[in-house]
Structure 1
Amino acid sequence: MGGPTSGRRGATARLLTGPRFELLPLPGTLDRAVALPPGSTVTVTASPRLGPEATLALTEALSHSGFRAVPHLAARQVTDRAALAATLERLDAAGVRDVFVVAGDAREPAGEFPDGLTLLRAMAELGHRMTSVGVPSYPEGHPLIADDVLWAALRDKQRHATYTVTQLCFDADAVCGFATRARARGVTLPVVAGVPGAVDIGRLLRMSVRVGVGDSARFLRSHRSIAGKLLRPNGYRPDGLVRRLGAHVAAGRCAVEGLHVYTFNQIDATLRWVQQARRRTAA
């Protein structure tokens, strides 16, 4: 008979099955992406500096290469409904059926969409052929938005969405706590846990500050001894984080549907970690 350990391993194995891989639309990314398993779900972030074209071009290339490509549609980068309609038509022609709608990092909107909810409503009014629509959520809150506002927005968004991905977080307890609170607050969207891949810790911390991660990033910066342990030749590995998530799921403390891995384009290292973690879990 299986005990708590086998239950945790089983839950962890399920989380590691078919993770989503997030990429940045930088030069050379497509060449690195070919290392990922065929048919993988690969998301492409939106960059205020590079603009929407970089995201759309990489999304099209990934889709044509056999991946399930998922572009981030940043509301603040969309100028008007005509531009939104053109984007949706372009994605449809490329065979894209999943999009991830965010507000975006631009300080000022380029047009009539200041946030993700307004873009989702416009998409619904225009009509689209997407079968999946994701929206972000924040286990540790947002540095610029009050918690009550975040919860209200997520409840409003869920009528237009099919899943939510949590923002990058190092804390399995925070992710699990968020998933539990979401159900209590009337959010029924499946929760996909956003976790860091196997990456260089310095780069990870810099990106953490940029995307607004809260306590976990501050914890690593302020606890030099722990950060020092992470400064290894192989970089950061999220083994403990994923095992603890698996333990929470196995114990019925929260429902997490899968993993969304923030690779920061360190694809080879992250893929090796996923493969090794699967083997260790199955051992």
Structure 2
Amino acid sequence: MGGPIPGRRRGSAQRRDAAARLLARSRFELLPLPGTLDRAAGLPPGSTVTVTSSPRRGVDATIELAEGLSRNGFRAVPHLAARQFADRAQLARTLDRLDGAGVRDVFVVAGDAPEPVGEFPDGLALLRAMAGLGHRMTAVGIPSYPDGHPSVADDVLWDLLRDKQQHATYTVTQMCFDADVVCAFAARARSRGITLPVVAGVPGVVDIARLLRMSLRVGVGDSVRFLRSHRSIAGALLRPNGYRPDGLVRRLGAHVAAGRCALDGLHVYTFNQVDATLRWLQQAQRRAAA
């Protein structure tokens, strides 16, 4: 009589366990738009919730939402966009304000503004200024780019990541649709002396039009080209219910279970479609635990 091969059964269980661990360490990214605080109410209590920053809405919109999230019991993580800060005085006021709100984790980026409004042209400059001010943050995140960056050469990105890590406690990868690329990046980071925990940035449940618009905005053109060249994934995106990251998370879990790379959880880009993303997360956790 035939039956499941024990080694394969163990391997499948290990992959599910690895995926379950990633899902259990999910953090959620929100955009600081009207009504976002209400949308966040359905997130699991105590969740880590990051708040993006945009040149159009400014620093205050990000900080205000982070304060509201912190009041509601979430671990709020505001993005501090270097190019939006005029000077160290504004940075000091912002850090004091976050400290007063009980925020202990920030995510430092350069920001999308084409030109800095003040003395901080990039994330490294802001990180150094924060260190000089003696901030009280217990966690500081920085971005990393498995797909590369549209305007920064790869060797420069690696140099910046090495320079930044002395001021940071973790890195979150930019949104990527290809688990192989994410894992290869995490492994390469270790080989290059990057010791920060790597959190994998994955898209949540979102309709195709919004996903592609946001993908092109954040500079993951290589991932979009990857999707176009893989019909099964492209077909999934074109379904009426839009994109679901199940396959991506399963593949990430398989890589982790096989020891190809180490990942410290998932950073879910929700695009403020919180309810749909939460339904997916709950279903995925049930499947992983089955």
Name the TM-score, length of structure 2 as normaliser. 0.95
Alignment-derived partner of residue 17 in structure 2: 10
What is the rounded CA distance, in whole Å, between the counterparts of 2:232 and 2:137 in structure 1? 46
Counterpart pick for 1:196 among 189, 192, 203: 203
2:286 equivalent to 1:276: no
Alignment length (residue pairs): 283
What is the rounded CA distance, in whole Å, between the counterparts of 2:232 and 2:225 in structure 1? 14
- Pairwise CA distance, 1:238: 0.4
How do 1:31-180 and structure 2 match up within 5 A?
31-180=38-187
- Pairwise CA distance, 1:89: 0.1
Deviations 1:131-170 (A, max 9, x none): 0000000001101000110000000000000000000000
What is the rounded CA distance, in whole Å, between the counterparts of 1:18 and 1:243 in structure 2? 15
Please tell me whether the aligned partners of residues 236 and 242 of structure 2 are also in contact (alpha carbons under 8 angstroms). no
Query: Which stretches in structure 1 are left out of the alignment for 5+ residues?
Result: none
Alignment-derived partner of residue 236 in structure 1: 243
Question: Does the residue aligned with 2:142 lie in a helix, a strand or coil?
Answer: strand
Counterpart pick for 1:185 among 192, 199, 206: 192
Query: Which stretches in structure 2 are left out of the alignment for 5+ residues?
Result: 1-5
- Pairwise CA distance, 1:16: 0.4
Deviations 1:51-73 (A, max 9, x none): 11110110000000110000000
Question: Does the residue aligned with 1:254 lie in a helix, a strand or coil?
Answer: coil
What is the rounded CA distance, in whole Å, between the counterparts of 2:182 and 2:230 in structure 1? 21
Alignment-derived partner of residue 272 in structure 2: 265
Q: Where does structure 1 differ by over 6 angstroms across 4 or more consecutive aligned residues?
A: 222-225
Counterpart amino acid of residue 272 in structure 1: R
What is the rounded CA distance, in whole Å, between the counterparts of 1:222 and 1:103 in structure 2? 31
- Pairwise CA distance, 1:233: 3.1
- Pairwise CA distance, 1:48: 0.8
2:290 equivalent to 1:246: no
Please tell me whether the aligned partners of residues 18 and 40 of structure 1 are also in contact (alpha carbons under 8 angstroms). no
- Pairwise CA distance, 1:8: 0.3
What is the rounded CA distance, in whole Å, between the counterparts of 2:140 and 2:70 in structure 1? 17
- Pairwise CA distance, 1:18: 3.0
Question: Does the residue aligned with 2:166 lie in a helix, a strand or coil?
Answer: coil
Question: Does the residue aligned with 1:212 lie in a helix, a strand or coil?
Answer: coil
Deviations 1:10-36 (A, max 9, x none): 100000003000000011111110010
- Could you say if the C-alpha distance between residues 28 and 229 of structure 1 is closer, same or farther in structure 2, counting changes exceeding 3 Å? same
Please tell me whether the aligned partners of residues 31 and 271 of structure 2 are also in contact (alpha carbons under 8 angstroms). yes
Counterpart amino acid of residue 114 in structure 2: R
Moved more, 215-224 or 259-268: 215-224
Counterpart amino acid of residue 79 in structure 2: H
What is the rounded CA distance, in whole Å, between the counterparts of 1:9 and 1:215 in structure 2? 28
Deviations 1:62-118 (A, max 9, x none): 000110000000000000000000000000000000000000000110100000000
Please tell me whether the aligned partners of residues 204 and 244 of structure 2 are also in contact (alpha carbons under 8 angstroms). yes
- Could you say if the C-alpha distance between residues 47 and 98 of structure 1 is closer, same or farther in structure 2, counting changes exceeding 3 Å? same
